[in-house]
Structure 1
Amino acid sequence: FLHSGLTQNRAPARNDHERRQLLRFSNIEVLIALGVAGLVNMAMVMTAAGAFHAGHSDVAEIETAYQTLTPLLGPAAAGVFLTALLASGLSSSAVGTMAGQMIMQGFVGFRIPVLVRRLVTMIPAFIVVWLGVNSTNALIISQVVLSIALPAPVVALILFTRRKDIMGAFANSRLTNVAAVLGAVVILTLNVVLLLQAFGVAIPGLPS
């Protein structure tokens, strides 16, 4: 939603040829952004796995991971790890709020003032800190909520983008539809597994 909204406002297209050009550039931009984000995430996971695999398997909290990295890899590595986590949190909050604004503008024509956007972004985190909620538990709960909400936009996107009466010449091809359905099935299956595990339901072959 956010990438589409930003592209639409950046350079309005006048015909299908210009729309295809915008779509191509937008796809390249998204691939680069997600690729860089994926590399950063993989680097963080591999750093933690490599540093904590031998003798530090009990590390389960972000705070503990940061404190344990300092004696193992030095303060510079711990600082980079902390900076990456901070940047990830800030960007996720900003992207989530802006995407919500794009969705509301598109469906109901409602625009969120800048001050309200900032409050919506910061207040939930302040409430969690003020209540003293364990950060790991809060993260798990947020992922459970995301797993419950995610199927609706995923299924809606697949249904809408395959319809020529909505998308016109840009409707998904049959191959794209098949790939999208397969991807959605995998994602939704993993979400169901996460929800079952979160509510304590035993799944054969998986640790509870």
Structure 2
Amino acid sequence: MTDAPPQVLPAAHEPTGRRPRHLTPTLLGPAFVAAIAYVDPGNVAANLTAGARYGYLLLWVLVAANVIAVLVQYQSAKLGIVTGESLPGVLGARLRRGPRLAFWLQAEVVAAATDLAEIVGGAIALHLLFGVPLPVGGLVVGGVSMLLLATQNRYGQRRFESVVVGLLLVITVGFLTGLLFSPPDARGVLSGLVPRFDGPDSVLLAASMLGATVMPHAIYVHSALVRDRFGRAPEHALEAHHATDRPGLAHRTLLGATRWDVAGALLLAGLVNIGLLLLAASGLRGVPGTDSIEGAHAAIQSALGPGVAIVFAIGLLASGLASTSVGAYAGATIMEGLVHRQIPLLVRRAVTLIPALVLLAVGADPTWTLVVSQVVLSFGIPFAVIPLVRLTRDRSLMGEHRNGPWTHAALVLVVVLVVALNLTLLGLLVAG
């Protein structure tokens, strides 16, 4: 493996310009793909458990987590637009060989853990819907995700985004349909917006919910999604719209559109997560066995009927298929940026499928597998968030688009909060 020399990325010194608002709809999409990470099977399990055990108590955690997600994901997209490079690519250009390879190894472990959880979640959905054995279900999920990635290879970024957004809509319908049959209590919802806990177990669950929200691979992949959509010269991305040939105006146009993209995508993902908690709080409160996806499905079927349970399982299947495709995309981004090597997405998909299939074949408990994957992800969060916060404050890299002191302070607070809660979660899991 040859070692590519470090590169110096150009600063973004640009003139001012007004954003043509009519361009915004045509520039949406990357954030909706990244948002899939926020409605993956791990989030489903955590939110259902929170609602079933504590009712509306931890609703405020999801609201806070969504605000954090908006801040962090916008910074990732902003870095990709201004530099024309992904977060791993920027780090790969700045780190020496030893630290760069070490960073790549931990990022690959995070990507593998993410992929594991998504394939297991999709396999569980196929088992619930059709009684498919878990190993066979994992193979099917991997195969379908390869077809989704082939869409990106053959038809380009926009078509891939359209397919994933379509799956996101299926997820939304699948997970929120139950609310029509078991609407939440308005007073309970309002009381859930007041920050409070009910013993150590609720603290543990809140830490898990927040820790699973800021996903490392979503941060890596969002910067790559905007880079691949708009290219390394953003002004070229707007030429087809006859908008401008000025790089400064191009950056401002794309950043303006990205704010709407991130806000809309994560609002939708946040509503899905909140809907899952509300569904469990209104229809599954106190029902035993809802600390696993299979148990939650059985409880939904018992409390709300088989029709709602089927729609829920379809949403879970769409969640596994979409999120594992995005996870493979993230893994390819990490390798390209940090070791300067590209492996075809389909080949990578086939290789990373193996660990999940092995665990399913040997009979590993699916819920335990999901828990372990979330613990691994908690280790990876600081490695993704801390460099992002530092880089978006760097004037030599971001130019006039670097974060101001108030934005930087807010992001530092987010880092401290997320890291502290994930360390708390990790400590409680080890102690338990």
TM-score by length of 2: 0.44
Contact residue 97 and residue 120 of structure 1 kept, 8 A = no
Q: Hey, what does 1:49 align to over in structure 2?
A: 281
Q: Hey, what does 1:123 align to over in structure 2?
A: 354
Q: Hey, what does 1:203 align to over in structure 2?
A: none
1:16-55 correspondence to structure 2 within 5 Å? 16-54=248-286
Look up the SS of the partner of 1:150 in the other structure.
helix
Q: Does 1:10 align with 2:242?
A: no
- Which stretches in structure 1 are left out of the alignment for 5+ residues? 201-207
Shift of 1:156: 0.7
Contact residue 158 and residue 181 of structure 1 kept, 8 A = yes
Amino acid at match of 1:44: L
Shift of 1:120: 4.1
Contact residue 283 and residue 300 of structure 2 kept, 8 A = yes
Higher relative contact order (CA 8 A, sep 6+): 2
Comparing 190-199 with 75-84, which one deviates more in the overlay?
75-84
1:121-200 correspondence to structure 2 within 5 Å? 121-200=352-431
Amino acid at match of 1:178: A
Q: Hey, what does 2:57 align to over in structure 1?
A: none
Contact residue 7 and residue 22 of structure 1 kept, 8 A = no
Q: Does 1:59 align with 2:324?
A: no
Contact residue 395 and residue 402 of structure 2 kept, 8 A = yes
In 2 relative to 1, CA 124–41 (structure 1 residues): closer, same or farther, beyond 3 Å? Answer: farther
Distance in 2 (CA, whole Å) between partners of 1:108 and 1:59 is 42
Contact residue 164 and residue 171 of structure 1 kept, 8 A = yes
The count of corresponding residues between Structure 1 and Structure 2 is 200
Distance in 2 (CA, whole Å) between partners of 1:3 and 1:25 is 14
Q: Hey, what does 2:4 align to over in structure 1?
A: none
Look up the SS of the partner of 2:417 in the other structure.
helix
Shift of 1:116: 1.8
Shift of 1:16: 2.1
In 2 relative to 1, CA 27–124 (structure 1 residues): closer, same or farther, beyond 3 Å? Answer: farther
Shift of 1:121: 4.6
- Which stretches in structure 2 are left out of the alignment for 5+ residues? 1-219, 236-246
Shift of 1:67: 1.8
Distance in 2 (CA, whole Å) between partners of 1:3 and 1:199 is 32
1:44-72: CA deviation from partner (whole Å, max 9, x where unpaired)? 22212322214x13432211221221131
Amino acid at match of 2:312: F
Distance in 1 (CA, whole Å) between partners of 2:345 and 2:386 is 30
Comparing 148-157 with 12-21, which one deviates more in the overlay?
12-21
Distance in 2 (CA, whole Å) between partners of 1:62 and 1:74 is 16
Distance in 1 (CA, whole Å) between partners of 2:342 and 2:259 is 26
Distance in 1 (CA, whole Å) between partners of 2:352 and 2:265 is 22
Distance in 1 (CA, whole Å) between partners of 2:248 and 2:332 is 26
Runs of 4+, deviation exceeding 3 Å: none
Amino acid at match of 2:360: V
Contact residue 162 and residue 171 of structure 1 kept, 8 A = yes
* Two-structure CA RMSD over aligned residues (Å): 1.8
Distance in 1 (CA, whole Å) between partners of 2:335 and 2:407 is 27
Shift of 1:9: 2.4
Distance in 2 (CA, whole Å) between partners of 1:101 and 1:25 is 26
Q: Hey, what does 1:106 align to over in structure 2?
A: 337
Shift of 1:32: 1.6
In 2 relative to 1, CA 135–30 (structure 1 residues): closer, same or farther, beyond 3 Å? Answer: same
Contact residue 328 and residue 345 of structure 2 kept, 8 A = no
Shift of 1:159: 1.0
Distance in 1 (CA, whole Å) between partners of 2:316 and 2:346 is 25
